[in-house]
Chain A
């Protein structure tokens, strides 16, 4: 069993829809990262959070430490949001990252 599980694996949405990607983890972590990987392969770090909620533009990331769960929300989705979204838990010692397998998002115009 992976230390970090993401759902769904694949997601197709209509432009404008509200999107939620979930990440659950089974190990102790000090922080959780959300990454976005574009179709060309480039990776962008979206959020690093250890508690509560962060917002950047149309993206919102939340984490519930007690439930070991994080969500990434995209409001008013747009085709340019099409990418693979990866969550990664950073170990308590800081020297390991536990990566989810990614959620492939396609937003249709």
Chain B
């Protein structure tokens, strides 16, 4: 049963520390998304990759956040330095994007999320 996995599931850290969240997309999917969910803002799209290349990261605070896909089986979201306002649940999702198309041909498959608390 293919699914998106995320690690860690929970992370508590102190302000100023570096946080790295990892996501393993479903094998064969060519698009990976990073979302953040807070009570105040709801769901927000931070960034997404297609075929490992960043397609858009305009939703991501550039000064402290970075997202990468070292290979097709791993996506990372890093916060350095972390701040209390970064406390949220971070979801990764994967899906398929057709060549030359911006509309997804399939639904997105969400991981279980990483609940981050920055003290």
Contact = CB atoms under 8 A, between A and B. Distances in A.
Interface stretch (B54-62, B67-75, B79-87): B54-62
Given A41-B112, A41-B113, A102 B107 contact: no
Nearest to A34: B107
A7 interface: no
Contacts, number: 58
The A contact surface, by secondary structure, is strand
**Number of contact residues on A: which range applies?**
20 to 34
Interface in B82-117: 89, 91, 93, 102-104, 106-110, 112-113, 115
B44 interface: yes
Interface of B: 42-45, 48, 55-56, 58-59, 89, 91, 93, 102-104, 106-110, 112-113, 115
